[in-house]
Structure 1
Amino acid sequence: MRTLRPQVRAWHGLLGVLMATFAVFAVVASLVTAAAPARADTTICEPFGTTTIQGQYVVQNNRWGSSATQCVTATDTGFRVAQADGSASTNGAPKSYPSVFNGCHYTTCSPGTNLPARLDTVSGAPSSISYGFVDNAVYNASYDIWLDPTPRTDGVNQTEIMIWFNRVGPIQPIGSPVGTATVGGRTWEVWSGGNGSNDVLSFVAPSAITGWSFDVLDFVRATVARGLAEDDWYLTSVQAGFEPWQNGAGLAVNSFSSTVETGGTPGNPDPDPGDPGDPGDAPACEVSYGTNVWQDGFTADVTVTNTGTTPVDGWQLAFTLPSGQRITNAWNASVTPSTGSVTATGVGHNARIASGASLSFGFQGSYSGTFTEPTGFRLNDAACTTA
């Protein structure tokens, strides 16, 4: 074996030290790279500026009601309002609608979207939202869901559905209140009106909702049932953001997701019309309400009959208990809350009511004063007759 000269051995030793040092630097560099964000946040101050997030949604500044500066910063999962100057009168339109959307809005379409989609080909439209609110502003936090008789990708659609997750300050939806409705398992105050260019149906939460996963199609069905859209119309976009009237810096959509599940053909929303989630026709129903009453207490046996031509999946029966009545327990359905405007929801074994079929559930409760029975039953937001 050949022996290395001392100078050569020394050089090899130095080379080993240098290689070890470079290896440490490489590990540190890889850790720094792994910890870095996937993309830099993007700030938009142009009135109608946009950018793309998650490779599939569009964030828009959408400052249309004010000349004051507004900037939004798009993040990996949503956006936040970075600057919100100026104000608008609270008895008029808001300053803007900074938002994130799936679909097409004023010629801008999100990457890879399958919208516009004809409603009778849509079997579901799941969406999820997480909001960040502030106190020093006047605003609503809301979804905008746009429907039109044509598959348009520009301009104003004929019907706008708004879902108000929160409102702060002396503001109200367009139009006037027309009652309450249970949609998506929640009770909403419903407003209906128009802004001169399109119809607006608004669902207003009684208290702030900071996050929720739900099916947009539930609200679309409720709108069709009220005659403000038809099954052969098109869903063009699903949007989530804020309408600020005063200030608004710090408002944030922390995360957003929206998908639209299609696969049927016009007139037949799903290859298997028995699958849950089919839009079908607006429910038609009859309710029988039988009671057994004693001093301060009662039981109610409720029978719901589907008199329509299509199954009702994920059924929810909404009604209002007379004043003084409180539910203490229920069977064959979940009934919440215990007083006031309540909603009975099917459980696993009876979540579907076939066409022409009936199901029954019941509950026990207490009452004060004179006992009376509720009226005004609504099955999945469609009015029922009473037997």
Structure 2
Amino acid sequence: MRTLRPRVRAPRGLSGALSAAFATFALVASLVTAAAPAQADTMICEPFGTTTVQGRYVVQNNRWGSSATQCVTATDSGFRVTQADGSASTNGAPKSYPSIFNGCHYTNCSPGTDLPARLDTVSEAPSGISYGFVGDAVYNASYDIWLDPTARTDGVNQTEIMIWFNRVGPVQPIGSPVGTATVGGRTWEVWSGGNGTNDVLSFVAPSAITSWNFDVMDFVRATVARGLAEDDWYLTSVQAGFEPWQNGAGLAVNSFSSTVETDGTPGGTDPDPGDPGDVPACEVSYGTNVWQGGFTADATVTNTGTAPVENWQLAFTLPSGQRVTNAWNASVTPSAGSVTATGVSHNARIAPGAGVSFGFQGTYSGTFTEPAGFRLNGAACATP
């Protein structure tokens, strides 16, 4: 770096000399500050090397399916793949998963993370992602959400949710397609299967999504509704990156953010709407659209009492042969038998005289019938 030597006119007298000295010092300091570079990017070429960005997220190279060299460069806001040698068969596993994460992955926990967190204590988990894609590679851009029955910080979790933001080349998710679902206001092709160590539920975008802000819990609740997790399980990590099969240099996570909002109380707060002994008064309207082997149900729960109902839960029994495949505006668990619809963050409170609506899609066998009754936070509801 070339040293800048500003010229300062020689003053007269001692005070002038001191003033000039301070002026010289200030000018040099300002020039040095202006020329100081931003924090240098960090290149990682070790197969499982990691580094921290933004003081809160971990970038990992995570090369596990190939012995060829892969390097990622961590930036202030994400990472980019700078070298991606080798290839893997497109009918098998990818060669790596370079990614950035919040939470815990094989004992490595991101600084200050709120994860693992029990699902029924999480009100929302907002996240933002911006991807940079390339055309001369075979890969998917995958956002992974990991769930486990325990607050596990090491090893493989029981259920993996994958959100495929983009796929290039002849690759497909684990398992087989099981239909479509609307989650987070978008329509997805849904695949379900397992890889021998954990269950995998994949939501595949019909076209590339370069950036999106969304609530991770929308996908978690959709997974619980399908019976692949329970409300007393734990969210252990959220990760955004790529699964390359061939090449991959130039792929980038331009930016990533993830937070988890919890109330700290398993099962939420006391569902009692008022003083001890208060019982909610309610009415439920339940409408269906039925076709051969499938149906949708739309329900409206009205609070006919004088006190608000907080953290509402509507219990009912699905007739034999019916099974919930996905739900909206509520979490419906388990997927069959005696189920409970639970309000989500934006509709968890029902004011007196007001109502909330939710719905779900399902399958059935035999003769289709509707549930015989409903209970709101333990109280029987009227049906029109």
TM > 0.5 between the two? yes
- Displacement of 1:40: 1.2
What does residue 119 of structure 2 align with?
A: 119
What does residue 168 of structure 1 align with?
A: 168
What does residue 378 of structure 2 align with?
A: none
Q: What is the one-letter code of the residue matched to 1:56?
A: R
Q: Where in structure 1 are there 5+ consecutive unaligned residues? A: 1-7, 275-283, 290-301, 317-349, 361-377
- Alignment of 1:109 onto 2:113: no
State whether residues 298 and 360 of structure 2, in contact with CA within 8 Å, keep that contact through their aligned partners in structure 1.
no
1-side partners of 2:240 and 2:84: how far apart? 18
Cα deviation, 1:50-90, whole Å, max 9, x if unaligned, reads 11111111110000100000011101110000100000000
- Alignment of 1:26 onto 2:29: yes
Q: What is the one-letter code of the residue matched to 1:83?
A: Q
Q: What is the one-letter code of the residue matched to 2:28?
A: F
- Report the aligned-residue RMSD: 3.5
Structure 1 vs Structure 2: percent identity of aligned residues?
A: 73
What does residue 232 of structure 2 align with?
A: 232
What does residue 51 of structure 1 align with?
A: 51
**Which runs of structure 2 are paired with 1:284-323 in the superposition (5 Å)?**
286-287=286-287, 304-306=299-301, 310=313, 315=329
- Alignment of 1:216 onto 2:232: no
Q: Where in structure 2 are there 5+ consecutive unaligned residues? A: 1-10, 274-283, 290-296, 303-311, 316-326, 331-345, 371-384
Q: What is the one-letter code of the residue matched to 1:305?
A: T
What does residue 379 of structure 1 align with?
A: 359
In structure 2, the CA distance between the partners of 1:13 and 1:244, relative to structure 1 (3 Å rule), is same
> Residue 92 of structure 1 aligns to a residue in which SS?
coil
1-side partners of 2:15 and 2:355: how far apart? 88
In structure 2, the CA distance between the partners of 1:63 and 1:183, relative to structure 1 (3 Å rule), is same
**Which runs of structure 2 are paired with 1:263-302 in the superposition (5 Å)?**
263-266=263-266, 268-270=267-269, 286-287=286-287
State whether residues 314 and 351 of structure 1, in contact with CA within 8 Å, keep that contact through their aligned partners in structure 2.
no
- Displacement of 1:30: 2.6
Q: How many residues align?
A: 307
1-side partners of 2:263 and 2:227: how far apart? 25
In structure 2, the CA distance between the partners of 1:351 and 1:230, relative to structure 1 (3 Å rule), is closer
Q: What is the one-letter code of the residue matched to 1:29?
A: V
What does residue 294 of structure 2 align with?
A: none
- Displacement of 1:19: 4.9
Q: What is the one-letter code of the residue matched to 1:141?
A: A
- Displacement of 1:20: 3.8
- Displacement of 1:28: 1.5
What does residue 205 of structure 2 align with?
A: 205
- Displacement of 1:145: 0.6
Q: What is the one-letter code of the residue matched to 1:315?
A: N
Give the alignment's TM-score, normalised by structure 2: 0.71
- Displacement of 1:252: 0.5
- Displacement of 1:271: 5.9
Give the alignment's TM-score, normalised by structure 1: 0.71
In structure 2, the CA distance between the partners of 1:311 and 1:19, relative to structure 1 (3 Å rule), is same
In structure 2, the CA distance between the partners of 1:121 and 1:55, relative to structure 1 (3 Å rule), is same
